[in-house]
């Protein structure tokens, strides 16, 4: 029996701040807020403390999922046993995790899909070099602006409806979520006690995190893959935070199993004869590429997303092995908690 819950990031969704200065500006603050929220949540039911916990998220979750996962590992080492959180794994979809490497992949992604020509590719590489230079110099605001310049250029020269999915004729139609969540009866059912308007993308939160965008959480993922299980997945049509972008920083991971992972076979993943994508795995690290999907995998391919998460958590099929059956049985008997973090809080460009 699995329990599924969705958490909202501080100052996103229905959460509030007394003033803009109270909005978190960095991942360490986000992690401390989420730790407090998790402790409150787990304390609400005595059975939650021992259950295996899996954290998931997409897009900017490439930052805050590693951040809270890393924070949990560090806190578990120093807190009283009654406060330990039983973290077992994290899953990140189409994430921005190590921007200094990811920002340098945009030109290749666009060029090798036929969306730009050589001249445009060369110009993009000049822009990318500037973004990398500013990041390495830790000029965080300027580096974030440089990344935005690249993405705006790519959007303009390709004419795509969205860089998040090069096959779409319209951007993701996420407005329906805002309409739904701003209904009085829905807010009452969710226990929203204050009069709050749901915002899909907050300009105030965007501004607060502007200097955070180009900072890396790769070292946090490296620590997590040593001590828990990590799933990185991407929809194949995402030009911004897609497969090429993710694989570029994965190849630079400081992890003892990296060489074996890179040598592992990338396997075709089918369910009932339908192609769902491709999976590569070694020990604690799994990488899945989802066919027919862009940036938001659950939106584009809900059945693939469900099958992927279930198989990964239960260590089944391409996400597990015969040697892990004992682990799988323990998880199934004890129950688990799967927390996904709201992915509509901010759209950082």
Question: Which residues are known to be catalytic?
Answer: 59, 238, 295
Residue pair 51/42 in contact by the 8 Å Cβ criterion: no
The pair of three-digit structure tokens given for residue 53, joined into one six-digit string: 């916990």
How many other CB atoms are there within 10 angstroms of residue 29's CB atom? 15
Dihedral angle at the C-alpha atoms of 304, 307, 313, 314, nearest 10 degrees? -160
CA-CA distance, 239 to 106, in Å (whole number)?
7
Residue pair 68/55 in contact by the 8 Å Cβ criterion: yes
Residue pair 334/49 in contact by the 8 Å Cβ criterion: no
Residue pair 59/95 in contact by the 8 Å Cβ criterion: yes
Alpha helix positions (H), 44-164: 61-76, 99-102, 106-111, 118-136, 140-158
Distances (CA, A) of 88 to 72, 92, 231, 276, 338: 11, 14, 11, 25, 10
Count Cβ atoms within 10 A of the Cβ of residue 72 and give its class: 0-12 exposed, 13-18 middle, 19 or more buried: buried
What three-state secondary structure class fits 101? helix
How many other CB atoms are there within 10 angstroms of residue 91's CB atom? 26
Distances (CA, A) of 197 to 13, 94, 204: 8, 27, 14
What three-state secondary structure class fits 340? strand
The pair of three-digit structure tokens given for residue 122, joined into one six-digit string: 């060369």
Token pair 């099958």 is found at 307
Beta strand pairing status for 267-271 and 274-282? Answer: antiparallel
The pair of three-digit structure tokens given for residue 139, joined into one six-digit string: 């000029």
**Numbers of helices and strands, H then E, in the chain:** 15, 8
């Amino acid at each position: 029996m699995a329990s599924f819950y969705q958490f909202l990031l501080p100052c996103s969704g229905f959460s509030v701040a007394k003033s803009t200065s109270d909005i978190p500006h960095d991942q360490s603050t986000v992690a401390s807020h989420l730790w407090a929220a998790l402790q409150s949540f787990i304390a609400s039911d005595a059975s939650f403390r021992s259950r295996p916990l899996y954290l998931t998220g997409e897009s900017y979750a490439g930052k805050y999922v590693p951040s809270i996962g890393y924070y949990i590992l560090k806190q578990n080492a120093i807190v009283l046993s009654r406060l330990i959180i039983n973290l077992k794994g994290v899953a990140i979809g189409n994430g921005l995790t190590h921007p200094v490497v990811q920002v340098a992949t945009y030109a290749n992604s666009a060029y090798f899909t036929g969306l730009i020509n050589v001249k445009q590719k060369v110009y993009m590489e000049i822009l990318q070099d500037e973004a990398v230079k500013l990041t390495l110099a830790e000029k965080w605001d300027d580096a974030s602006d440089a990344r935005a310049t690249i993405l705006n250029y790519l959007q303009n020269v390709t004419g795509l409806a969205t860089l998040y999915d090069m096959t779409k004729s319209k951007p993701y139609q996420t407005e329906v979520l805002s309409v739904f969540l701003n209904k009085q009866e829905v807010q009452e059912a969710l226990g929203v006690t204050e009069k709050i308007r749901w915002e899909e993308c907050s300009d105030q939160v965007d501004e607060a995190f502007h200097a955070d965008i180009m900072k890396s959480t790769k070292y946090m993922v490296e620590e997590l893959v040593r001590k828990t299980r990590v799933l990185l997945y991407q929809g194949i049509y995402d030009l911004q935070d897609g497969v090429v972008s993710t694989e570029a920083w994965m190849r630079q991971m400081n992890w003892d199993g990296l060489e074996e992972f890179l040598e592992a076979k990338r396997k075709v993943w089918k369910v009932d004869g339908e192609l769902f994508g491709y999976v590569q795995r070694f020990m604690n690290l799994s990488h899945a590429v989802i066919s027919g999907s862009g940036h938001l995998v659950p939106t584009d391919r809900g059945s693939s997303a469900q099958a992927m998460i279930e198989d990964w958590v239960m260590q089944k099929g391409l996400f597990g092995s015969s040697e892990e059956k004992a682990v799988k049985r323990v998880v199934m008997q004890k129950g688990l908690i799967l927390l996904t973090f709201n992915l509509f809080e901010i759209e950082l460009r």
